[in-house]
Amino acid sequence: MPFTDRYGNELRSLPLIYRLGRDFQVAESFCWRDPRPAGTVIEVPAHDLELPPTGGNGTDFASVPPFLWGLIASYGKQTLAAILHDHLTQQARLAPVEDRLALRRVADETFRVALVDSGVHQLRARVMWAAVGIERYARHGGVLGWLIIAQLALGIVALVAAVVLGVIVHPLWLLLAAAPAALAVLWGTNANLVIASTYLGALYAPLVAAAFIGSRLEQLLAFVIWVATGTPGPIPKAEPTLRWPDHGTTLPPL
């Protein structure tokens, strides 16, 4: 019984207020009991409905880019863990600047544990944890964050190259696949995040690329139809995929 209502009873439903777009607000508080040793009970309070979603416990569930919803849905078993993460992320954003990165690290690890506790399988939980971990450094890591992202990108390229060259040129090129793991050691406590993000990113890269291209082709076709039929309204646009949302559990393409 990982999630409960505020009275300690098993949580069977959660009232939400739909604020249009992709924003919802928590209408009743609930709790999560941390299963780790010395774990605590974390309460996600109900949101003040007079405030905008960004002013409190607003959520868009898991902020998965729409073109990836076929791979990782924005809601499901992960919904309560995502709302919990949104709450902890909001607390980190309101903390002093020097404390935000550390608080986000705790929030992201809590998210991973809560995902597994909710029945999300280990691989999917690790993918989602890696995604929010990279977003953590993009948002709060400064220069360090961009260095990690740069190494992540180069590591994914190296892994793809290792497979392609290993198949086409010579099997010894497959040894290049060990380079990202070796270099990740330089990041110390962040090594696990860099390794997981790099290898999972390379694993999912073909699926992400195909979904991204497919969404752009759909957008192009929608634009052609919009022009040909003279349909009123704005120009068709693909959903945002490369900007960080202002709040929420962000899951960018790995």
| Per-residue model confidence as pLDDT tens digits over 132-161 | 888 899 888 889 889 999 999 999 999 999
Q: Which conformational region is residue 137 in: left (phi greater than 0), alpha (psi within -120 to 50 degrees), or beta?
A: alpha
Is the CB of residue 23 less than 8 Å from the CB of residue 58? yes
Segments making up each domain of the chain, as ranges = 3-141+246-250, 146-229
CB-neighbour burial class of residue 112 (10 A; exposed 0-12, middle 13-18, buried 19+): buried
Query: Concatenated DSSP letters for 70-117?
Result: TTS-SSSTTHHHHHHHHHHHHHHHHS-HHHHHHHHHHHHHHHHHHHHH
Encode pLDDT of 90-129 as tens digits: 889 889 999 999 999 999 999 999 999 989 889 889 988 9
Can you give the pLDDT at residue 28? 87
